[in-house]
Structure 1
């Protein structure tokens, strides 16, 4: 069983890059993401009365960040495109032009998803959260996470599907 941990400097330093990545996926702008992480940490430090296990601390911080985002979003904040989240890479393993084009299409499709669906996909796919952790983070039942995640994946597939659909053959009506 993990031992409880305080909200100390060393612990926060290990979680800040993940919080920043999640924030950037939500707000699409590095400066706004940093502001969101800062507001999250301020709120966490103000309410850090209990010792948390590392997993619970991580879920708690991501939950605060997501709720902070929702609060700001409800106040009418406008968010820009997600462009650099998946950027970077190794020069030795440079992707092919086709993979780059597919990545751009996927990112463009990802950007069209509602913030709730982007958050679900990122928490599960990028951050590696379990469905239970996502449910706790977002404050919804696990079944809701599963159904919303299925819809988010379906919407992403539909939005990023660049292959033309085969034309249906014309049918002749026989009487």
Structure 2
């Protein structure tokens, strides 16, 4: 097991990547921050073995925490609508460029599975095998979902 100091240092080091991945899962900055906080709390409470590759393990736990969050709500559609409405009503600073705003808008239109894989493969640079391991799905599923996500993003970005 990693000691608390080692685990804290590892979590701090990977925090930017965890936040980006969480945003990819949730599509909402506030939900993403809450998800990362839950992940950090869980990791510090439970600990982690030295034998496990840290980043894929963090992503897997993060994904599972998000799934648990969705399942705890009776109506997933209601959760997503609430999340989108909350984001629309916030007065957060906008993206730094129009192009980035278009990308964020397009990303929000992907389904959860596609957004997860875009966050891992395209944004974080994971290989298909690493993404498959992190999400506990077959590599072929990763490949097809990424291909569909890229096609949909291309379509969305070309029409905006």
TM-score by length of 1: 0.71
Matched residue, 1:170: none
Aligned counterpart, 1:157: 154
SS in 2 for 1:161: helix
2:115 is the counterpart of 1:118: yes
Query: How far apart are the structure 2 equivalents of 1:37 and 1:23?
Result: 7
Q: Which residue of 1 aligns with 2:58?
A: 61
Please report how far the alpha carbon of residue 5 of structure 1 lies from its aligned counterpart in structure 2 after TM superposition: 5.9
SS at match of 2:149: helix
| Cα distance in 1, alignment partners of residues 156 and 131 from structure 2 | 24
Q: Which of the pair is proportionally richer in helix?
A: 2
Task: Tell whether the 8 Å contact from 2:22 to 2:32 is kept in structure 1 after alignment.
Answer: yes
Conserved in 1, the CA contact under 8 Å of 2:25 and 2:115? yes
- 1:27 is displaced (CA, Å) by 2.3
Q: Equivalent residue for 1:74?
A: 71
CA distance in structure 2 between the partners assigned to 1:87 and 1:104 by the alignment: 5
Give CA-to-partner distance per residue, 1:98-152, whole Å, 9 cap, x none. Answer: xx2x443332222111111111011111111111110011100111111111111
Distance 2:48 2:135 in 1: 21
For structure 1, the 5+ residue unaligned runs are 89-94, 164-175
Measured on the aligned residues, the alpha-carbon RMSD in Å equals 2.7
Partner secondary structure for residue 50 of structure 2: coil
**Residue pair 2:7, 2:44 contacting (<8 A) in 1 also:** no
Structure-2 residue corresponding to 1:28: 27
Q: Which residue of 2 aligns with 1:37?
A: 36
Over alpha carbons, which structure has the higher Rg? 1
State the match for 1:8 in structure 2: 7
Structure 1 pair 60–154 and aligned structure 2 pair: CA distance change class (3 A)? same
- In structure 2, distance between residues paired with 1:109 and 1:17: 22
**After TM superposition, which residue ranges in structure 1, 4 or more long, deviate above 4 angstroms?**
4-7, 81-84
2:114 aligned with 1:106, yes or no? Answer: no
